[in-house]
Amino acid sequence: MLVKGDFNYKEALTKSLIFLEAQRSGKLPSNNRVPWRGDSALDDGKLVNVDLAGGYYDAGDNVKYGLPMAFTVTTLAWGAIFYKPEFEAANELGNVHDAIRWGTDYFLKASSRHKRLYVEVGDPEDDHHCWAPPENMKTKRSVKMITSDIPGTEIAAETAAAMAASSIVFRPKDRKYARRLLNRAKLLHFEGQKNLETFKSHAESFICSVLPDSPYHQIKLSPGGFIHLRDGANTQYATGTSFLFTVYSDLLAKHNQKVTCGDKQFSSSHLLAFAKKQMDYILGNNPEGRSYMVGFGKNPPTQAHHRGASVSILKKGEEVVCALSFTQWFQKDEPNPNELTGAILGGPDINDKFNDKRWDSPKTEPCTYINSLAAGALAKLASLG
Q: Which amino acid is at 337?
A: P
Task: Find out whether 41 and 54 touch, Cβ atoms under 8 Å.
Answer: no
> Which of these is catalytic: 97, 228, 270, 305?
305
CB atoms under 10 Å from CB of 29, counted, come to 11
Q: Please, which contacts does 110-117 make with residues 24 or more away whose CB atoms are closer than 8 Å?
A: 110/52, 110/55, 110/66, 110/159, 111/159, 111/184, 111/187, 111/188, 112/50, 113/50, 115/147, 115/148, 116/145, 116/146, 116/147, 117/66, 117/145, 117/146, 117/147, 117/152, 117/155, 117/156, 117/159, 117/188
Catalytic site residue 129? no
Cβ partners under 8 Å of residue 130, min gap 6: 137, 138, 139, 320, 322, 325
Q: How many residues are there in the chain?
A: 385
> If you ran DSSP here, which 8-state letter would residue 233 be given?
S
Q: Quote the CA–CA distance of 143 and 46 in Å, as a whole number.
A: 9
Hey, CA dihedral for 81, 346, 110, 133, is it positive or negative?
Answer: positive
Which residues are known to be catalytic?
305
